[in-house]
Amino acid sequence: MNWTRRVASPVLWVAVLFFVLMLGMPQTAPLFEHAFPQVAPPVFDRDSFFALWLSHAGMVLVASGAASLVGIGLAIFVTRPAGDDFRGLVGTLATIGQTFPPAAVLALAVPALGFGPRPTIVALFIYGLLPVIENAIAGLDGVPAAVRDAARGMGLSAWQILRDVDLPLAAPLILAGVRVSVTIAIGTATIGSTVGALTLGTPIFDGLAADKVPFVLQGAVLVALFAILTDMLFGRLENWLRPPGLARAA
Amino acid sequence: MIELDHIVKEYQGRRVVDDFSLTVPEGAFCVLLGTSGCGKSTTLRMINRLVPFDAGAIRIDGADVREVAPEILRRRIGYAIQSTGLFPHWTIEDNIGTVPRLLDWPRNRIRDRITELLQLFRLAPETYRQKYPHQLSGGEQQRVGVARALAADPDLLLMDEPFAAVDPVTRDALQAEMARIHQATGKTIVFVTHDIAEALRLATVIAVMDRGRLAQWGTPLEILESPANDFVAGFVGGEASGVQLLALRTVAERLRAGEGAEGEPLSADATLRDALAAMMARHTDRLPVVDGHGQPLGAITLADLIR
């Protein structure tokens, strides 16, 4: 075991920093009190940051998980002969989903779904579909035609070609799409606080409303660290999942 | 035996294969020869139903290919293509074992078969088993591609320009191996190429295709000596076809029995091209000929070559 490499890993240190800040935020009160003497209390205390993070991460997990499953499923469907006709339609819908501002989705979803996490999850789901679909289609299209031809010519069934050839070879790009989608969702989830969902954006919006700069800083730093940490973990996962026969990207 | 019976294939109203009939005898090395777009690849791919045909029938050993599910049919037919189509994320071992695994062979039998095939293609099994395709040279990848096609010991092998993308030296070696393997296994091979020299070297029978139709069918010698029409004549090289012929005839056929000559002798089963090359290299117009055991048979002269 190469412990020096583990200790030197930036992933480890970002993770440590994130969890120490999240759990120890109340202990930074004197610091904020000194910097912003007119703000009381100096640290956001309506909820624990840990509870905010759990709720935030839970919504991202549900929304991005669903966006990934649906997105990959749609990409598989439109890259099969049977789904070829729907390719343009799916691409257009995903693009509309991406261009439609999440705040507008929230506004439209609240009357139907009420306040709280549900409209946020819907908005994140719609917003997160495009990167997954686009990358998964690119990955599946990128499987060399000769490889698929040989697979068919040797008698692999359509399902075997998908499972043994298409998905493993497209996996790096598919995962890259999920990575982008999740990272965007972590940042975007903060606006859920405007419709009553608990997120790390809650201190940000409370701070903006009550003119409390420390709250904004506390929320923003934790969201940023959470997004960076997740992105780094996906980087690890990509290396780990890369098919061994494919050249490793530098 | 493979019978193609009045096959028609249309793409957007254009007939790419037009009433094409052909019978490939058991154990033949049949080359489909023609220019790009003449329908030879399409014809090949109709045999294992990668391409559906619009009319006619294809039978293998009397059984219509449409009688079984395409996957089942394809697992019984070897298939090798120009760009190899090796699975880049699988080891050489897993690549070669593809069809035996699909056929649920026991593990030991698959492993033994892979060893046997790697040896047949002169790839040291212990060195190559665990490698990935990108670690191999183009020629080695092509060998693995053909080995994979042979893995489940199919009676019929379809090859679509398998050696078109490798360098001439490697291609020459691969052709020699292919000829050796055909002789050793006696498999029926249908082989697509646009390379006349490759066709003459490998084929026992050649089908020349022109715009989706069969232009001529015969042995390499028949195609060269009596081309059926101007297209075939042009394709096999016009007047230059005589030079190709030299490679197909042996010294034994033009031998002056009992006569003698000076110098290093030729073997009777050498080709006339070998004889011409030897005469040019040694600046002579007459060479002695011996049989396989070195016993003198006679002589051959420059004039005999062009008789």
Q: pLDDT of chain B along its 307 residues, tens only?
A: 999 999 999 998 888 999 999 999 999 999 999 988 889 999 999 999 999 999 999 999 999 999 999 999 999 999 999 988 999 999 999 999 999 999 999 999 999 999 999 998 889 999 999 999 999 998 899 999 999 999 999 999 999 999 988 888 888 888 998 999 899 888 999 999 998 889 988 999 999 999 999 999 999 888 888 888 888 888 877 666 777 778 878 888 888 888 888 888 888 888 888 888 888 888 888 889 988 888 888 889 888 887 7
Interface contact flag, A155 B91, Cβ < 8 Å: no
Q: CB distance from A150 to chain B under 8 Å?
A: yes
pLDDT at A246 over 80: no
* B279 alpha-carbon distance from chain centroid: 30
Task: Give DSSP secondary structure letters for chain B.
Answer: -EEEEEEEEEETTEEEEEEEEEEE-TT-EEEEE--TTSSHHHHHHHHTTSS--SEEEEEETTEEGGGS-HHHHHHTEEEEETT----TTS-HHHHHTHHHHHTT--HHHHHHHHHHHHHHTT--HHHHTT--GGGS-HHHHHHHHHHHHHTT--SEEEEESTTTTS-HHHHHHHHHHHHHHHHHH--EEEEEES-HHHHHHH-SEEEEEETTEEEEEE-HHHHHHS-SSHHHHHHTTGGGHHHHHHTTSBGGGG-EET----SSPEETTSBHHHHHHHHHHHT-SEEEEE-TTS-EEEEEEHHHHT-
Its sign, for the CA torsion B95, B101, B107, B109, is negative
CB contact under 8 Å between B85 and A147, yes or no, is: yes
When mean pLDDT is compared across A19-33, A94-108, B43-57, the lowest value belongs to A94-108
Is B50's CB within 8 Å of A152's CB? yes
Q: Is A219 exposed, middle or buried (0-12, 13-18, 19+ CB in 10 A)?
A: buried
A152 touches chain B (CB under 8 A): yes
pTM assigned to the model: 0.82
Residue A1 has pLDDT above 80, yes or no: no
Token pair, residue A45, equals: 């205390």
Distance from C-alpha of A203 to C-alpha of A220, rounded to nearest angstrom: 8
SS3 for A32?
helix
Q: How far is it, in rounded angstroms, from Cα A227 to Cα A184?
A: 8
Nearest CA in chain B to A158: B71
